[in-house]
Amino acid sequence: MSVEIVSVSTNDCIDCVATLAKEIWAQHFISIVGESQVNYMLMKFQSADAIKSQITSGSEYYLAKIENEWAGYICLIPDPDNNKMILSKIYTKISMRGKGLGKSMLEYAEKKCVSENFTSILLTVNKFNDGPISWYKRRGFFVVDEVIKDIGGGFFMDDYIMEKTVLTS
């Protein structure tokens, strides 16, 4: 199955990411962190305005299309000081899971990491998000640390930090 990945640079694409985020997060994260925290995080991190601000600050968003439908997105943040690429977000619509979309987006991130001569990809994942944790481990990621981060509004993110080496010096 062919996956098309495009850079997010227009307001229409930004709106598409925000719409996908709302759908995906509501379906997946309410059972993990609750509806109030999901709504707060969508507003703070995944609204169109928040995405625009992140892009202005150096985050790179990409939309993924499969079967002629926008089905997921990723966000990459280059970290040249630590020679790493941060995989800030990787999300797929539930209806599109099992079709290789996540794998294609991760491979895209890995190729971008290698092309920029970064040695590894770093990500955070909620400690109770068992499916994605297993998925990342099957793709070569290892838990390297844990972090509890206050994100405001009385909410916290309780995450594993996972890393995968993609380029050896």
Shortest CA distance to 29 belongs to which of 74, 75, 94?
A: 94
* pLDDT tens digits, 74-125: 999 999 999 999 999 999 999 888 888 999 999 999 999 999 999 999 999 9
Of the pLDDT bands very low, low, confident and very high (cuts 50, 70, 90), residue 169 is low
pLDDT of residue 113: 94
| Res 167 pLDDT > 80 | no
The answer to whether 78 touches 53, Cβ cutoff 8 Å, is no
Q: Assign 111 to helix, strand or coil.
A: helix
Domains along the chain with CATH numbers: 3-165 (3.40.630.30)
pLDDT of residue 120: 96
Predicted TM-score (pTM) of this structure: 0.94
